[in-house]
Structure 1
Amino acid sequence: MLIEIQNLESAVLEGDVQSPFYQIMMLENCSEFSVDFTSYISPSYSLVFLSPYQHFQWQGKGASLIKKLEFHGDFYCIEYHKKEVACNGLLFNNIYLEPFVTVSKMLFDEISLIFDKINDEQSLKNSFSESVLKAYLQLILALCSKAKSSQIGQQMICQDELTVGLKFQNLLESYFLKEKSVHFYAQELALALDTFSKRVKKELGKSPSQLIQDRVVLEAKKMLHLTYLSIKEIAAKLQFEDEFYFSRYFKKNVGISPSGFRDRVGISIVAK
């Protein structure tokens, strides 16, 4: 299975869900859930975007998941198609943004119809067109990327200066390979450790330690999916003591070993 639509209006929503596929979930009502152990509340008419092997768990009783789409990276490579649809780092694979986008009811209904068209095309079995399926998926990603970009733009207009969270984000992107201590970043921003942690948690929704961990894991996933580097070489680039420590760290946070992740997610066509 490289792409699949599930209609889930009557499904029981529970448990910790992990998948080797990219996932798009349509939530009709306000819903509570966690992604990688961080809790979120999404308004009505939201779509959740998950990368392979992200932890997802429902919370509360108000969830209304009406449709879910899953696709494998071999079917549609978001890195390869980044010029057509800038969804990588916007809808997927961004530890600083909420993993969902909220849209108007009109757009939500339009996307729901595209889901139905994918389902109809697949029902043709041996005569379905893979290019048509990819075009439908790309349209969904393009519409949601546009909505997400607009929302981020509005948020930036409201900020007249860099917040502690944004300063930390910039520092983390520069130093996460070398500096994995919260104390380093607090010191760089001339803040007491407790003050720094509270400000980051309030502004970004995650603790500094969680963001550091998420950034390292994200980079590991990228290297496993987008390169032919060995596990030992990846461990060295991420500055772990050895490949065994890296493997334990990765499995603890992702739930699967680095080699298992690579086997099930695959190596991208853009890998070098």
Structure 2
Amino acid sequence: MIQLEDIKGNFKRDRALKAEYSIRVLIIKEASGLLCMNSGDYVLTPGRVFFIPEEGIIRLEGEVNSAYWLSFSSLLYSEFLLQHRDSQSRNLFMSLSFRDLNNSQAQKAYSLLEQLKREILAKRDVSYLAQYLSLLLGFSAVLNAELMDLSVDELQQVLRFRAILEQYFKTERSTEFYAAGMGMNSRKLNGFLKKAFSKNLPEVLYARLIREAEELLIHTDYSIAIIAEILGFEQANSFMSNFKKTKGISALEFRRLN
């Protein structure tokens, strides 16, 4: 479902880059030359991240001393799309695009990629890899302004928090529970979440619950009562009031419109 490899060497445009999966990202660490597509040629520069559409054939021309070639399946990509619903994110792979990271941002991206290689080799589960990929794409595409100011260690803490949240958001509501999982006290956790997401724990948690509710309302025929039970609400009325407060419309109206 995901493949990440280092590439280097002298390349000529008569040879296409092969990828295991259809969605691809090329991250340049040190190179000179061109990325060549039917739409044109693009300069290879350090810190440049290319987001490559599925149908595009990629050729390189020049010398690559160090670069990362990442490909992944739509299943892993779906988590990124769920977390990033704006048009800029949805269109990231519609045509070839790229982002240029400054030196500090690029070094963080390289560190994340090296850690991702280790996670892939360790055969981490799909849900964890999906969270990691979503974090990496959000950071390297400069889609999450808050993430850009975080250190590598803090980005790893974001990933750890997301992994805990994904496992327990339906059953656990207390700040103390998530703080213990992060090895922090409640005040420190909320301070970290404010820095990373501009939200405290209850806001992050309910945003995740509402996102899951949207998926259930759209893709299942479950009643409101059953959805409320799945999401850990003791009463359907509590779920409905939280949904309307967050979305501005009732759960039933949301289902009807979608």
After TM superposition, the score normalised by the length of structure 2 is 0.47
Richer in strand (by share): 2
Relative contact order, CA 8 A, sep 6+: which one is greater?
A: 1
After TM superposition, the score normalised by the length of structure 1 is 0.45
Richer in helix (by share): 2
